[in-house]
Amino acid sequence: MTRVHYASFINLKYKPKPTDLVCQFKITPAKGYGFQEVCSITAGESSVGTWTDLTTVNTKTQKKITPKVYYLDKKNLRCRIAYPCDLFEMGNLPEILSSVGGNIYGMKCVTGLLWEDVKIPEKMLNSFRGPRFGIKGIREYLKVKNRPLVGTIVKPKVGLNEKEHAKVAYDSWIGGCDVVKDDENLTSQPFNNFYKRILLTLKACKKAEKETGEKKVYLANCTAPVDEMIKRIKFVEANGGNYIMLDILTLGWSALQKAKDTTKLPIHAHRAGHAMFDRTPNHGMKMEVIAQFARMVGVDTLHIGTAYGKMTGGKDEVLHIEEEMESEFTKETQDNLSQKWFGMKPVFGVASGGVHPGIVDKIMKFMGNDIVLQAGGGIHGHPKGTRAGAIAMRQAVDATLKKISLKEYSKNHEELREALKKWA
């Protein structure tokens, strides 16, 4: 196989234009291939290149849409490629992903290809809707100004009937949770019908609001084939629901765009399946890229990890994702690309996965207050039950905001004391 056709994609003097989509890759060449060569192949195969001479080229158009490999870091196996916006159909995320990350992942010339970061141009951002509510809108709805939101997932994940599910949700709200959500794999099973569950849980939500004087939200999992997804979203809306949840990766980007066009409610994005893309350090698509595209489409809250819980993902990764979700502008570094969001609303990062009251202070210390602290087992596993578990989470937040250690605060707060004793 001749490789000369890919050489022209390297241009280290090129400076990306404001209209370019810029992608950073970590590329591990296969045996017999050079790093620079494979970087060029990556640019070519994801755009106008191919393996042989062609008689069908429109040279004028090709020159206009040819990407440039403008940055190479052989030591760390990194390259950056600038793709002209005219390569893509605006507003069509499936096509954009198919273009950049399609064919090249199956090429023999690489043993590892990791899409690490992306810089999205204003033209592309403007072809999507972005978050409807964002951090400010969610805070205004819940009337919670400065503290982290406290949330939970009804546990166990599956196995409760509709009435039992609503009771767990009610106890969580009464204990102090702002947010209660379905788990990623609870949709509409024989033991827990979606439509019955929604009615009972929304009724419990309204009851909890009346008794506590606080606004509450229920994140109803509407993940389903597109027609059924739309039917479920409309059912939630028609019955006074105030939030929907979608497993965005297993659902698919096209369906997420459809949901965004369908509903005026906030959208919670569960990242179920993300590790199929980002778990391997040398291959796949990092969560940072997934998160940026999710913000562009328009989710309002998104799981981003904790660094302290049961899931993978260290502090640097979690903080970078949070920065991409919350900031208007991120600076370019050796490791990460810059991104300007041009007024697109920020997304609430959700710290979830092994969260319990005993690590609330650590999470808040490095993630700040603009997060949703979401504990499942860390609430429902409390020795005195769900309500006490929710109280303990709020107590842990209050202690941290007051700059009092959890141990000291627990001396006069029984629920927190019991939680620390169990999860110490």
pLDDT per position as a tens digit, 291-319: 999 999 999 999 998 866 555 557 788 89
Q: Can 4-125 and 134-423 be said to share one CATH topology?
A: no
- Residue at token pair 């993902």: 313
The residues, ordered by sequence, that sit 6+ positions from 135 with a Cβ below 8 Å of its Cβ are 326, 345, 346, 347, 348, 370
pLDDT band at 216 (very low <50, low <70, confident <90, very high): very high
Q: Which two tokens stand for residue 268?
A: 């919670």
SS3 content of the chain, % helix, strand, coil (to 5): 45, 20, 40
Q: What is the pLDDT of residue 104?
A: 84
- Is residue 196 part of the annotated active site? The answer reads no
Check if CATH label 3.20.20.110 holds for domain 134-423. Answer: yes
Q: What is the pLDDT of residue 60?
A: 65
Q: Of 310, 418, 417, 306, which is closest to residue 366 (Cα–Cα)?
A: 306
Q: What is the pLDDT of residue 105?
A: 87
Residues 395 and 357 sit within 8 Å (Cβ to Cβ) = yes
User: 156-190, pLDDT tens digit by residue?
Assistant: 889 999 999 999 999 999 999 999 999 999 999 99
Q: What is the pLDDT of residue 312?
A: 58
Q: What is the pLDDT of residue 4?
A: 43
Mean pLDDT of 92-110: 89
Mean pLDDT of 371-391: 97
Among 14-23, 96-105, 124-133, whose mean pLDDT is lowest? 96-105
Pairwise CA distance, residues 178 & 180, whole Å: 7
Percent of the chain with pLDDT over 70: 92
Q: Of 12, 2, 93, which is closest to residue 49 (Cα–Cα)?
A: 2
Using the predicted structure, report yes or no on whether residue 205 has a pLDDT greater than 60: yes
pTM across the whole model: 0.93
Q: For strand 68-73 and strand 244-247, is the pairing parallel, antiparallel, or unpaired? A: unpaired
Choosing from 68, 216, 260, 270, the catalytic residue is 270
Choosing from 26, 119, 155, 345, the catalytic residue is 155
CATH code linked to domain 4-125: 3.30.70.150
The residues, ordered by sequence, that sit 6+ positions from 370 with a Cβ below 8 Å of its Cβ are 135, 148, 326, 346, 348, 349
Pairwise CA distance, residues 353 & 15, whole Å: 41
DSSP character at residue 351: E
pLDDT band at 17 (very low <50, low <70, confident <90, very high): very high
**CA 326 and chain centroid, separation:** 12
Q: What is the pLDDT of residue 68?
A: 94
Mean pLDDT of 193-216: 98
First-to-final CA distance of the chain: 60
The per-residue pLDDT of the chain, averaged, comes to 92
pLDDT band at 44 (very low <50, low <70, confident <90, very high): confident
The residues, ordered by sequence, that sit 6+ positions from 76 with a Cβ below 8 Å of its Cβ are 26
Q: For strand 179-181 and strand 149-153, is the pairing parallel, antiparallel, or unpaired? A: parallel
- Is residue 155 part of the annotated active site? The answer reads yes
Mean pLDDT of 194-207: 98
Pairwise CA distance, residues 76 & 84, whole Å: 25
Using the predicted structure, report yes or no on whether residue 214 has a pLDDT greater than 80: yes
Mean pLDDT of 219-223: 98
Q: Mapped to the 3 state alphabet, what secondary structure does 195-250 carry?
A: HHHHHHHHHHHHHHHHHHCCCCEEEEECCCCHHHHHHHHHHHHHCCCCCEEEEHHH
| Per-domain boundaries in the chain | 4-125, 134-423
Mean pLDDT of 1-17: 74
